[in-house]
């Protein structure tokens, strides 16, 4: 029996659906109106949502009706009182669960020495997995669903600036589905296992050979896939033939990972010399036999799919819809239409020609990461490493330097310290991430990889990105008007501020770019970067759609499908610009393994970043960032309108590029 089917069979009996008859629903609505309820539309929404969630073990039809009539709140004053109490309770619960999870995953995320088998077991445990179901069992969930029912997306868009209505709507998002805790725990474990797999997937580049059997990289250079491999390609655009040789070699490594022909002996180990072109091994000058990784990468993807698919019957929608219409509050069809509009822009060919001319050669597949429009591409990264190592020898030094970064961006010393006091800095085991607070009184955590000799430029660049997340996380938690509105519409909006910060990484080092071509180069860079991430996002969506169409697929079949889909998307959107067909580079992204369907957030983040940057131009940066990120969890379009005055769109970026090309 397939894993997903087994999970469904095991847990279906735990919660039996009770279909509340329509006549009972109507009788309940009428009884509440008789009791004093005046808004029939709101009463009906609450009763129907409670009926949707009601299970056999919760009571009979008569008991359902009695419960609704007894617990429906008929006055605005009492409703506001209950809302404030519930908000306080949820902040306490979610905040402390967040702190527990932070501690349980501490050794997985921080560089605290070798991992033991016990570490991922604790890291996979989700302390809050039972909360929602507990609140159905004790009826709290039904009281909230009855009085604060879910507001459909199209109705949320009409709430405008009514903050109370928005806060009530966000409480209405809490009790919309009923998933067994065991399935939530299984989902958390699948993602945690995938994250451990990826965070330990290092390539010892000092033992990687070029076609001539030569070693190109320092003995101690270790790169995490895919992030550091990608960054190594970016770092070699200003290094002539030697840089080109390194880039091509890194891409050969990537292709072996995608095809799973990479020998297991070279994953997170420097025991062998490896030639990725011939896929051969040597040890102490003698040839050795390698064992291909085979399908491990794709099995992790399947494990995530099986865990999410098992939840689908209880959620009432599949994982794709939950991720987009639910979390992002933009339908997957609208996302694909927006991405397709951009990916077919005729201006892309013009940008491709500009890059080819600047490189003095035809484009190669890895040039999706072309970094030559950025001012850092003309700088010596080795010198940057030395400068940053002196500034930030360890996590404590970077923590101490955070307020000065905000002051450099225009924040007052008082405000800079107020924000930075709520941010902790840790040395990361993986590439780094930002972990936000979930209640007032907690710190958010900034994590980046810090080698023993001190932070290097790559780690600093990532750290500045994560710092942008932390600033958002702090403002949208501590300065929003109500806890239920804390946060941002979806992950794309926190990515946007992270990108805004990351762009200023050199400026924060006191390195200014006085190039008169700067604005033009910035537009070209944004356009090309969005081109890269949108294609990868389309592949991520396509792979999940394929898994839903082939739920019984094996890891081998998924591998072949992913490779085929990556070629199809490449041929549709990239071959016309690059002049090369059937490239698989889009399939290298680690996010597809450890962060299911997250990549689209980066694409939206870059669209939002451009609109934010365009809006912030000429304004007080610090004041506007402080204002905008207090808006909290509006829907994406409403947030963008209130933040910048314009809805979310790729058109401003396209128009800006057209002007840049003409110049």
Contact 610, 342 (CB under 8 A): no
Closest CA to 629 of 648, 603, 608: 608
What does the pLDDT look like over 462-480, one tens digit per residue? 999 999 999 999 999 999 9
The answer, yes or no, to whether residue 4 has pLDDT greater than 60, is no
- Beta-carbon contacts of residue 44 (< 8 Å; ≥ 6 apart): 29
In angstroms, rounded to a whole number, what is the distance separating the alpha carbons of residues 502 and 504?
5
Please, is 93 exposed, middle or buried when counting C-beta atoms within 10 Å of its C-beta (0-12, 13-18, 19+)? middle
pLDDT, greater one: 267 or 9 = 267
The answer, yes or no, to whether residue 12 has pLDDT greater than 60, is no
Could you write out the three-class secondary structure of 519-555?
Answer: HHHHHHHHHHHHHHHHHHHHHHHHHHHHHHHCCCCCH
What does the pLDDT look like over 304-322, one tens digit per residue? 999 999 999 888 789 999 9
In angstroms, rounded to a whole number, what is the distance separating the alpha carbons of residues 600 and 534?
7
Mean per-residue pLDDT for 601-620? 88
Cα–Cα distance list, 403 to 97, 389, 560 (Å) = 29, 19, 49
Backbone angles phi, psi at 433, to 5 degrees: -165, 175
Quick check: helix, strand or coil at residue 646? Answer: coil
Contact 176, 325 (CB under 8 A): no
Mean per-residue pLDDT for 312-340? 90
The answer, yes or no, to whether residue 302 has pLDDT greater than 80, is yes
Assigned token pair, 186: 């299984």
Contact 130, 192 (CB under 8 A): no
Quickly state the pLDDT bin for 14 (edges 50, 70, 90): very low
- pLDDT at residue 184, rounded to an integer: 87
N- to C-terminal Cα separation, the chain = 62
What does the pLDDT look like over 66-81, one tens digit per residue? 999 999 999 999 999 9
Contact 36, 76 (CB under 8 A): no
In angstroms, rounded to a whole number, what is the distance separating the alpha carbons of residues 516 and 501?
22
What does the pLDDT look like over 208-239, one tens digit per residue? 999 999 999 999 999 999 999 999 999 999 89
Contact 458, 376 (CB under 8 A): no
- pLDDT at residue 307, rounded to an integer: 97
pLDDT, greater one: 522 or 445 = 445
What does the pLDDT look like over 88-119, one tens digit per residue? 999 999 999 999 999 999 999 988 889 999 99
pLDDT, greater one: 295 or 19 = 295
Per cent of the chain over pLDDT 70 is 96
Closest CA to 523 of 629, 407, 374, 416: 374
In angstroms, rounded to a whole number, what is the distance separating the alpha carbons of residues 189 and 178?
19
- pLDDT at residue 401, rounded to an integer: 96
Please, is 313 exposed, middle or buried when counting C-beta atoms within 10 Å of its C-beta (0-12, 13-18, 19+)? middle
In angstroms, rounded to a whole number, what is the distance separating the alpha carbons of residues 338 and 329?
14
Contact 488, 632 (CB under 8 A): yes
Backbone angles phi, psi at 292, to 5 degrees: -60, 145
- Angle between the N-to-C axes of helices 40-53 and 22-35, in degrees from 0 to 180, rounded to the nearest 10: 140
The answer, yes or no, to whether residue 6 has pLDDT greater than 50, is no
DSSP string over 178-243: ---HHHHHHHHHHHHHHHHHHHT-EEEGGGBB-TTS-B-S-TT-EEETTHHHHHHHHHTTTSHHHH
Secondary structure element (H or E) that encloses residue 92, with its range: helix 76-104
- pLDDT at residue 399, rounded to an integer: 96
The answer, yes or no, to whether residue 491 has pLDDT greater than 70, is yes
- pLDDT at residue 604, rounded to an integer: 85
What does the pLDDT look like over 568-588, one tens digit per residue? 999 999 999 999 999 999 999
Least confident span in 250-254, 375-379, 408-412, 602-606: 375-379
Mean per-residue pLDDT for 33-46? 92
The answer, yes or no, to whether residue 608 has pLDDT greater than 80, is yes
- pLDDT at residue 601, rounded to an integer: 87
Quickly state the pLDDT bin for 9 (edges 50, 70, 90): very low
Is the torsion defined by CA of 265, 267, 273, 274 positive or negative? positive
Average pLDDT value for the chain: 92
Closest CA to 52 of 145, 139, 123, 120: 145
Assigned token pair, 165: 């209505």
In angstroms, rounded to a whole number, what is the distance separating the alpha carbons of residues 468 and 1?
46
Secondary structure element (H or E) that encloses residue 423, with its range: strand 423-427
- pLDDT at residue 375, rounded to an integer: 60
pLDDT, greater one: 2 or 580 = 580
pTM: 0.77
- pLDDT at residue 179, rounded to an integer: 84
Secondary structure element (H or E) that encloses residue 121, with its range: helix 118-123
Quickly state the pLDDT bin for 16 (edges 50, 70, 90): low
Quickly state the pLDDT bin for 376 (edges 50, 70, 90): low
The answer, yes or no, to whether residue 334 has pLDDT greater than 90, is no
Least confident span in 267-271, 327-331, 554-558: 327-331
Quick check: helix, strand or coil at residue 84? Answer: helix
Mean per-residue pLDDT for 502-519? 84
Contact 162, 482 (CB under 8 A): no
Mean per-residue pLDDT for 483-498? 91
The answer, yes or no, to whether residue 18 has pLDDT greater than 90, is no
- pLDDT at residue 304, rounded to an integer: 97
Quickly state the pLDDT bin for 13 (edges 50, 70, 90): very low
Listed in sequence order, the DSSP H helices in 480-517 are: 491-503
């Amino acid at each position: 029996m397939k894993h997903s089917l087994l999970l469904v069979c095991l847990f279906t009996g735990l919660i039996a659906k009770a279909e509340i008859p329509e006549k009972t629903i109507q009788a309940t609505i009428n009884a509440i109106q008789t009791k004093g309820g005046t808004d029939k539309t709101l009463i009906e929404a609450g009763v129907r949502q409670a009926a949707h969630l009601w299970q056999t073990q919760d009571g009979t039809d008569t008991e359902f009706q009695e419960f609704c009539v007894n617990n429906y709140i008929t006055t605005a004053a009492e409703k506001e009182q209950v809302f404030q109490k519930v908000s306080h309770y949820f902040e306490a619960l979610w905040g402390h669960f967040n702190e527990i999870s932070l501690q349980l995953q501490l050794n997985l995320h921080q560089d605290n020495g070798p991992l033991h088998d016990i570490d991922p077991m604790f890291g996979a445990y989700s302390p809050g997995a039972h909360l929602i179901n507990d609140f159905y069992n004790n009826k709290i969930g039904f009281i909230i669903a009855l009085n604060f029912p879910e507001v459909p997306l199209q109705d949320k868009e009409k709430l405008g600036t009514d903050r109370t209505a928005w806060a009530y709507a966000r409480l209405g998002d809490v009790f919309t589905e009923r998933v067994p805790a065991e399935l939530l725990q299984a989902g958390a474990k699948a993602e945690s296992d995938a994250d451990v797999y990826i965070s330990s997937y290092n390539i010892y580049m000092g033992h990687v050979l070029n076609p001539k059997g030569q070693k190109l990289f320092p003995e101690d250079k270790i790169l995490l896939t895919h992030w550091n491999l990608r960054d190594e390609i970016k770092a070699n655009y200003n290094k002539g033939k030697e840089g080109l040789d390194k880039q091509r070699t890194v891409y050969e490594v990537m292709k072996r990972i995608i095809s799973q022909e990479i020998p297991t002996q070279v994953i997170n180990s420097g025991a062998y010399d490896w030639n990725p072109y011939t896929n051969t091994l040597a040890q102490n000058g003698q040839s050795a036999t390698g064992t291909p990784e085979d399908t491990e990468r794709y099995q992790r993807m399947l494990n995530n799919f099986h865990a999410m698919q098992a939840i689908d019957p209880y959620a009432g929608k599949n994982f794709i819809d939950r991720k987009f219409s639910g979390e992002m509050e933009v339908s997957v069809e609208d996302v694909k239409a927006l991405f397709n509009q951009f990916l077919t822009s005729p201006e892309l060919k013009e940008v491709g020609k500009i890059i080819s001319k600047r490189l003095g050669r035809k484009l190669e597949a890895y040039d999706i990461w072309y970094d030559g429009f950025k001012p850092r591409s003309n700088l010596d990264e080795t010198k940057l490493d030395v400068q940053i190592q002196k500034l930030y020898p360890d996590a404590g030094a970077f923590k101490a330097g955070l307020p000065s970064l905000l002051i450099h961006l225009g924040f007052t010393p008082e405000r800079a310290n107020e924000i930075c006091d709520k941010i902790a800095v840790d040395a990361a085991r993986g590439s780094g991430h930002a972990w936000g607070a979930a209640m007032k009184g907690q710190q958010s955590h900034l994590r980046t990889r810090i080698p023993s000799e001190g932070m290097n430029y790559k780690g600093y660049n990532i750290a500045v990105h994560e710092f942008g997340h932390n600033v958002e996380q702090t403002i949208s938690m501590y300065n929003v008007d109500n806890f239920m509105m804390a946060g941002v519409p979806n992950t794309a909006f926190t990515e946007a501020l992270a990108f805004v910060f990351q762009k200023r990484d050199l400026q924060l080092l006191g390195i200014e770019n006085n190039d008169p071509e700067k604005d033009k180069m910035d537009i070209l860079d944004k356009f090309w970067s969005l081109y890269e991430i949108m294609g990868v996002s389309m592949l991520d969506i396509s792979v999940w759609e394929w898994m839903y169409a082939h739920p019984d697929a094996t890891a081998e079949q998924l591998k072949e499908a992913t490779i085929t889909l990556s070629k199809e998307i490449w041929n549709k959107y990239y071959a016309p610009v690059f002049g090369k067909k059937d490239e698989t580079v889009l399939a290298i992204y680690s996010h597809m393994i450890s962060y299911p369907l997250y990549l689209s957030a980066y694409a939206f983040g870059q669209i939002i970043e451009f609109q934010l940057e365009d809006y912030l131009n000429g304004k007080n940066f610090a004041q506007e960032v402080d204002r905008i990120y207090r808006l909290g969890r509006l829907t994406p379009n409403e947030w963008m309108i209130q933040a910048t005055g314009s809805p979310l769109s790729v058109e401003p970026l396209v128009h800006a590029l057209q002007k840049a090309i003409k110049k």
